[in-house]
Amino acid sequence: MDGRVVAIRGAVVDIAFTQGSLPAINDALIIENSGEKPTLVEVQAHLDDEVLRAIALQATIGLRRGASVRRMGGAVLVPVGDAVLGRLLDVTGAPGDRLGPLPGNVPRRPIHRAPPPFRAQGAASELFRTGIKVIDLLAPHARGGKAAMFGGAGVGKTVLVMELIHAMVAGYRGISVFAGVGERSREGHEMLRDMTEAGVLDRTVLVYGQMNEPPGARWRVPMTALAVAEYFRDEQKKNVLLLMDNVFRFVQAGSEVSGLLGRLPSRVGYQPTLATEVAELQERIASVGDASVTAIEAVYVPADDFTDPAVMTIASHVDSMVVLSRAMAADGMYPAVDPIASSSILLDPLVVGETHVSVANAVRSAIEHYRELQDVIALLGMEELGREDRRIVERARRLMRFLTQPFAVTEAFTGMSGRSVALEDTLAGCRAILDGEADDWNESSLYMVGTFEEAREKEEAARTGRDAA
């Protein structure tokens, strides 16, 4: 016996070691629980020369004082490599999909690791095409970059991430790692079923720490997913798509752990180590040599407050920000991506070209002008606007409708088959609307379509129907 349990308070366990030095911070320990499964804990603080405080990564029900504790000799080790493809794992790397145990010779890696040195990291400049018009136009993603979907409850973050997975199935041939952090059990079942039906589960690893699990498990799940992704990047030199839903729950779990450890809270009640914890996660997402880890993260925005410290800390690390708007969702503009608030460092003529940047800026300018005039329109009506203002407003409304599109993952609910639109078609459609080609069209002809040509056919069919009537 290396140590023994001296106190248990929920997910926090105090352990005394009378012989040798104390295990290091972030080291894993196993608590032997007579008649029960052993419990894995992680060292978080040294209270004195003999006692440390650890956070449980598994349920502590049935644990007792005096239970013997065994050192693991380092951080939690999780299985990686080809053996975990197509499997659903928990924070400790144990399978949760009832497909039997993993092979005994599977390679294992620690969940804690330093980020690659800056000199070894590659620049992210190649575009990651999603087929979603508003994202490819206004917030393009980079292969090997970090993109985040910010939005409050119920505005479509998970649907957008699911659609990106669907788009990836069509054109992406690398490995995918999905980290479900503090989300609902139902979403995990749906994800597993959808990936099985799509036939991509054999190239995907699912790592889950769900709402019903202890805060320690939810806090460390992204690290487990990163350990898996880094192995494919560094050892097998493969491109990896890392999907996280939801990074805010990682921060929230860290806040719970901080409170359990007795640390004084910082701004808005968050943990004092907020910036460090987010940085430790985000800085490991990087390209090394020819292999990249591309991250797409969903971020819940509490009470739609984008000035929340957690949201602002996460936003400081990402290359592309996709901001979801509740007002647009209320108007039925799906995906409810705010074209003004969304941005990307890739929207640069040297990366995407002059044409793309000029069209994106013209679209933003028109929609921004429309929003400035919305109060005037609501009070006095369109008739009180000057001719030029009226023309810009009408084109902006058509642009906003053209940037909606039906998703493959919502086909069962909407009855509309999903559309994936090439960037060239998106640019051509927006340019045509800005040039006035759709000025005499019904706005509804541009709503929930793919390309501009599809909208043209919809308009012609509607005109034929009106003429016949």
Catalytic residues: 157, 183-184
Using alpha carbons only, what angle is made at residue 111 by residues 108 and 113, rounded to the nearest 5 degrees?
A: 110
Alpha carbon distance 244, 226 (integer Å): 10
Bridge partners (DSSP) of residue 28 are 42
Do the Cβ atoms of 121 and 86 come closer than 8 Å? Answer: no
To 10 degrees, the CA torsion angle through 74, 219, 282, 242? 100
Report helix, strand or coil for 234: helix
Using alpha carbons only, what angle is made at residue 151 by residues 339 and 201, rounded to the nearest 5 degrees?
A: 100
CA nearest 141: which of 287, 298, 319, 400?
Answer: 319
Residues 6+ apart with CB under 8 A from 430: 137, 359, 362, 363, 399, 402
327: how many CB neighbours lie within 10 A of its CB? Answer: 11
CA nearest 152: which of 278, 256, 250, 298?
Answer: 298
How is residue 409 annotated by DSSP? G
Full DSSP string of 182-232: S--HHHHHHHHHHHHHHT-GGGEEEEEE-TTS-HHHHHHHHHHHHHHHHHH
CA nearest 252: which of 270, 273, 238, 279?
Answer: 270
Do the Cβ atoms of 275 and 267 come closer than 8 Å? Answer: no
- The amino acid at 134: V
Bridge partners (DSSP) of residue 294 are 241
Alpha carbon distance 304, 359 (integer Å): 29
Question: Which position has the token pair 């880094």?
Answer: 230
**Burial class, 99, CB count within 10 angstroms (exposed 0-12 / middle 13-18 / buried 19+):** exposed
* 228's tokens: 């898996």
